[in-house]
Amino acid sequence: MAAPHSVSPPSGEDDALLRAAKVVAREEAMARRARADAAGAGQALAAHVLRDAPPPSGAVVAGFWPMGHEIDIRPLMRALEARGHRLCLPRTPKRGLPLDFRAFAFGDELVKGPVGTRQPAEDAPPCVPDWLIVPLLAFDRAGRRLGYGGGYYDRTLAGLPGAGTLGVAYACQEMDVVPSGPHDAPLGAVATEAGVMWFRKGSSG
Ligand SMILES: Nc1nc2c(c(=O)[nH]1)N(C=O)[C@@H](CNc1ccc(C(=O)N[C@@H](CCC(=O)O)C(=O)O)cc1)CN2
Ligand SMILES: Nc1ncnc2c1ncn2[C@@H]1O[C@H](COP(=O)(O)OP(=O)(O)OP(=O)(O)O)[C@@H](O)[C@H]1O
């Protein structure tokens, strides 16, 4: 007969299984992303978002400074700045804390953050975004998202329940099912170089 915990595993075991599934999914997602064709992708993504899923007029938009093989969202951020949106970028805090957003305009100086990120200087003015462009390693059609494992965006979105959320990625970063737990904040929409997908009515705006 099966041991009781094999029917209803204790949460510690669930957590370990989920973490392990995420490690595998991250490796797969990074390998796929590294093969994506970057040429023109950031411009295509910007055009889709501006036409099909723009932030509400006047929204304060959180972007991020792309690194490594991430899709280039700078064309989108520049276009949103030109439309009059105030922009901000995250500073990465200590583990366990939400992201610390600071005002940003193109031309402002950025400094080095952890793991290859670039972020506003410590004295840049604090900023509370109401529409966030969210980096990710993998997404699925239910709006689940996998990040680098810091939990930073999950904690940040938990503290901004009314904010619009637009995940951004290459189309090849879609997975059938992204491993996900109770802390994982779902996305309102995802934009790729191929177009925009919505997951929950109204939540991308
Ligand atoms: N371009 C971009 N910027 C971004 C993110 C992103 O996904 N993409 N982030 C998405 O969340 C945040 C940074 N995410 C991070 C995720 C993990 C670790 C991390 O593992 N840090 C190690 C220390 C490594 C080091 O200092 O070199 C650690 O905490 O042990 C750091 C930042 C904010 N900025
Ligand atoms: N709102 C939250 N409150 C408490 N712990 C959280 C919260 N969100 C995430 N965590 C914890 O943070 C750790 C990392 O989470 P996870 O692996 O989901 O990160 P991720 O989504 O890949 O990273 P990120 O959100 O930075 O892109 C996990 O142990 C998770 O349980």
Domains and CATH numbers, the chain: 15-198 (3.40.50.10420)
| Residues whose beta carbon lies within 6 Å of some atom of ligand 2 | 22, 146-155, 158, 183-184
Terminal CA-CA length for the chain: 51
**Tell me, what's the ipTM?**
0.93
Q: Other CB atoms closer than 10 Å to residue 113's CB: what's the count?
A: 17
pTM equals: 0.93
Rounded to whole angstroms, how far apart are CA atoms 40 and 159? 34
pLDDT of residue 68: 96
Mutation pick for ligand 1 pocket among 111, 152, 153 (CB with most ligand atoms within 8 Å): 152
Q: Residue whose CA is closest, atom 16 of ligand 1?
A: 150
Residues 170/42, Cβ–Cβ less than 8 Å: no
Element of type H or E holding 152 = helix 152-158
- pLDDT, tens digit (0-9, with 9 covering 90-100), for 25-35: 999 999 999 99
Rounded to whole angstroms, how far apart are CA atoms 53 and 66? 20
Average pLDDT over residues 185-189: 95
